[in-house]
């Protein structure tokens, strides 16, 4: 596994992000404005703020969107691998 279990909240295992995963910045649609993407982004489109290593250029920056700040990785959403995360988040996006 590439993550460290950090805590359990209401029976959900919260995990720390896997560096270089980027699934949460690619798979879902984001309707709020993102620096460089003022209209947000459609599902399956890579956020312009991901660098070549799939790291967020806005991490720790005051311009990072609230939707990104509010996302908390869990095992149910991120799975055990980066590929799991892409598949699960893509499925959830399509189901909503």
pLDDT at 17: 87
26: pLDDT strictly greater than 80:
yes
2: pLDDT strictly greater than 50:
no
Task: Return the percentage of the chain with pLDDT > 90, whole number.
Answer: 81
Structural domain that includes position 91:
5-95
Which residues does 92 contact at the CB level (< 8 Å), separation at least 6? 28, 77
- Number of domains the chain contains: 1
39: pLDDT strictly greater than 80:
yes
pLDDT at 11: 57
What length is written for the chain? Answer: 96
46: pLDDT strictly greater than 90:
yes
């Amino acid at each position: 596994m590439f993550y460290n279990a950090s805590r359990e909240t209401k029976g959900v295992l919260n995990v720390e992000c896997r560096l270089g995963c980027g699934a949460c910045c690619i798979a879902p649609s984001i309707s709020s404005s993102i620096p460089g993407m003022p209209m947000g982004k459609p599902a399956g489109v890579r956020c312009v703020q991901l660098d070549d290593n799939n790291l967020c250029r806005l991490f720790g920056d005051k311009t990072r969107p609230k939707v990104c700040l509010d996302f908390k990785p869990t095992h149910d959403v991120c799975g055990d691998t980066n590929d799991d995360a892409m598949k699960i988040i893509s499925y959830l996006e399509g189901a909503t």
